[in-house]
Amino acid sequence: MDLVIEVDDEPGALAKVAAAISDAGVNMSAATCTGPPATGQIHILVPHAEAARHVLGISHVAVTSEREVVVVEVQDRPGELADLTRKIAEAGVDLDLVYLATRNRVVFGSQDLPALKSALGQN
């Protein structure tokens, strides 16, 4: 599950999120930060969303949204991302989220999750 946390763009914002999750024993499989200069969005990939939401709430960090994403195991080689995104594009699927995760995995998000799964052979 991809959780989105909106934070002020200040030193330690990601550290606060990461510490809260790790203190609860929840593994963060991936993280990425984006956003305009004043605020940011932290996307985290966690296997146990409910536990992460709970501990973040206790730490006064709000999960602003969450969504199912498609996680694909890949080989660490040139062209792997190009091959995957070409398949997705040929299926007519519009991506709105892509980031890398631990253990050679790529996280994809789309408003059309069934079509994305189909394009990647994850029916």
Q: Which pLDDT band, with edges at 50, 70 and 90, does 37 fall under?
A: confident
Residue, of 13 and 112, whose pLDDT is higher = 112
Alpha helices in 10-75 (DSSP H): 13-23, 49-58
Give yes or no for residue 36 having a pLDDT over 80. Answer: no
Give yes or no for residue 24 having a pLDDT over 90. Answer: no
> pLDDT of 67-107, one tens digit each?
999 999 999 999 999 999 999 999 999 999 999 999 999 99
pLDDT at 20: 92
Which residue, 110, 7, 101, is CA-closest to 46?
Answer: 101
CA distance linking residue 115 with residue 9, whole number of Å: 35
What percent of the chain has a predicted confidence (pLDDT) above 90?
Answer: 83
Helix, strand or coil for residue 88? helix
What domains are defined for the chain?
2-67 (3.30.2130.10), 70-119 (3.30.70.260)
pLDDT at 9: 86
Give yes or no for residue 123 having a pLDDT over 90. Answer: no
Long-range pairs for 88-97 at CB < 8 Å and ≥24 separation? 88/116, 88/119, 88/120, 90/119, 91/115, 91/116, 91/118, 91/119, 93/119, 97/2, 97/43, 97/69
Q: Which pLDDT band, with edges at 50, 70 and 90, does 35 fall under?
A: confident
